């Protein structure tokens, strides 16, 4: 079976939707099903694996190429609040094993199904002094070892609000991979940040700053999820598409929640989400699309149909097999060289104007890391 990241290089993949939304569709008791750990969905892998398996199957039947493990909060520093922190590693391993078995039921040679290990931001942030770096790293590291042992195809550090937390989780993932005699090539590390309606992460980091802070880490992808619907994400996704040089992911909420009869309801329809994701693929080269809070199998089915037929709300044009990552141009840091790039055409980008020295020659830094950009001096800026 081809690897997840290899697949992202050749076609658009569809992720599942909201695990919490799926859980809320079942009539579950706090005492029995949640084992007196109210709102701790991670524990359901132990108490109600049938429910979690059913949610996985619903998204796979809807057309998802990948599902996430039920481990968004399955780290010791979160589960300690429920008195079950010692179960974190076992829950991660069991969740990965469960998701793996369900995915394998649907996987075929033509349409392999993948399992992505979910790691959320937790309930304590390093930057706010609520937890120490070493404690957070050890907590993530142990849980990620459980995910790897359970057979995940990738690790997704998602819904990130604090850059220090992201860096800590990446370090933990690298350590866990080393513990399990694996590498980021075997089990890729993916990151998804959350941009609030303010246009920044919760602690004020912009998309541009996040890109530059994370560029040097061996992560396979960077994207956005949660907080808002796709309409409020467009500006941030556009910025990301011009600055990030690896696969881009996007998993919006089903709009902003509204209160109806005492319940939070997400208003975005499946069709609207499908159209929005098709637009992001076509305009910004997003490689992995899916849903977050409020998204159901119906939403994911709509996204899968939109991607499959290459539908775009404005032109209705096809994607032609691989996500046509946008053509863009970037100015060399010397200020004298303009480089153009088009992933869709596969052309090697070259400088349009002469330059005495490219950025790499002056600073030793790669301008493009994955697509062989060359300056007018014919010196390669990346490999």
Domains recognised in the chain with CATH numbers: 4-309 (3.20.20.330), 326-383 (no CATH)
- What confidence score (pLDDT) does residue 282 get? 93
pLDDT beneath 70, residues of the chain: 1-2, 310-383
- What confidence score (pLDDT) does residue 310 get? 67
Torsion, Cα of 293, 297, 301, 307 (10° steps):
30
Radius of gyration, alpha carbons of the chain? 21
Three-state DSSP class for 347?
Answer: strand
Express each pLDDT in 238-254 by its tens digit.
999 999 999 999 999 99
**What residue ranges in the chain does DSSP mark as E strands?**
13-14, 66-68, 114-119, 154-160, 189-193, 221-225, 248-251, 258-260, 263-265, 288-289, 327-331, 338-342
Helix axes 297-309 and 270-284, enclosed angle (nearest 10): 40
- What confidence score (pLDDT) does residue 327 get? 32
DSSP state of 41: G
Contact 263, 302 (CB under 8 A): no
Nearest residue to 328 via CA among 367, 376, 288: 367
Express each pLDDT in 155-208 by its tens digit.
999 999 999 999 999 999 999 999 999 999 999 999 999 999 999 999 999 999
CA angle 63, 68, 72 (to 5 degrees): 145
- What confidence score (pLDDT) does residue 1 get? 58
- What confidence score (pLDDT) does residue 184 get? 96
For 316, residues 6+ apart whose C-beta sits below 8 A from its C-beta are: none
Global pTM value: 0.82
For 342, residues 6+ apart whose C-beta sits below 8 A from its C-beta are: 325, 326, 327, 328, 349
Pairing of strands 338-342, 327-331: antiparallel
């Amino acid at each position: 079976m081809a690897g997840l990241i290899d697949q992202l290089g050749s076609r658009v993949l569809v992720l599942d939707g909201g695990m919490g939304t799926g859980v809320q569709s079942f009539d579950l008791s706090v005492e029995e099903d949640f084992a007196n750990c109210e709102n701790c969905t991670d524990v359901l892998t132990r108490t109600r694996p049938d429910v979690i398996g059913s949610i996985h199957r619903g998204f796979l039947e809807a057309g998802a190429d990948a599902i996430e493990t039920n481990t968004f909060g399955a780290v010791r520093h979160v589960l300690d609040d429920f008195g079950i922190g010692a179960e974190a590693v076992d829950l991660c391993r069991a969740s990965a094993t469960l998701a793996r078995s369900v995915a394998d039921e649907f996987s075929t040679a033509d349409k392999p199904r993948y399992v992505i290990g979910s790691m959320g931001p937790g309930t304590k942030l390093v930057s706010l002094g609520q937890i120490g770096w070493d404690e957070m790293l050890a907590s993530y590291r142990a849980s990620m070892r459980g995910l790897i042992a359970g057979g995940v195809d990738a690790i997704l550090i998602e819904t990130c609000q604090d850059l220090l937390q992201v860096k800590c989780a990446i370090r933990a993932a690298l350590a866990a991979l080393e513990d399990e005699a694996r590498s980021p090539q075997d089990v890729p590390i993916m990151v998804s940040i959350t941009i609030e309606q303010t246009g920044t992460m919760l602690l004020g980091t912009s998309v541009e700053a996040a890109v530059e802070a994370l560029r040097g880490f061996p992560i396979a992808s960077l994207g956005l999820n949660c907080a808002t619907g796709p309409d409020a994400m467009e500006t941030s996704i556009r910025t990301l598409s011009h600055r990030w040089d690896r696969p881009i992911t996007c998993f919006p909420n089903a709009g902003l929640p509204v209160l109806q009869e005492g319940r939070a309801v997400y208003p975005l329809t499946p069709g609207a989400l499908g159209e929005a994701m098709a637009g992001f693929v076509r305009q910004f080269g997003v490689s992995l699309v899916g849903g977050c809070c409020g998204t159901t199998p119906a939403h994911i089915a709509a996204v899968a149909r939109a991607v499959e037929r290459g539908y775009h709300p404005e032109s209705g044009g096809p994607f032609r097999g691989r996500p046509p990552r946008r053509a863009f141009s970037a100015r060399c840091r010397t200020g004298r060289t303009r480089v153009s790039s088009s992933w869709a055409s596969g052309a090697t980008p070259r400088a349009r104007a002469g330059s005495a020295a490219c950025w790499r020659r002056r600073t030793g830094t790669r301008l493009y890391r994955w697509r062989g950009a060359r300056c007018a001096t014919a010196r390669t800026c990346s490999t």
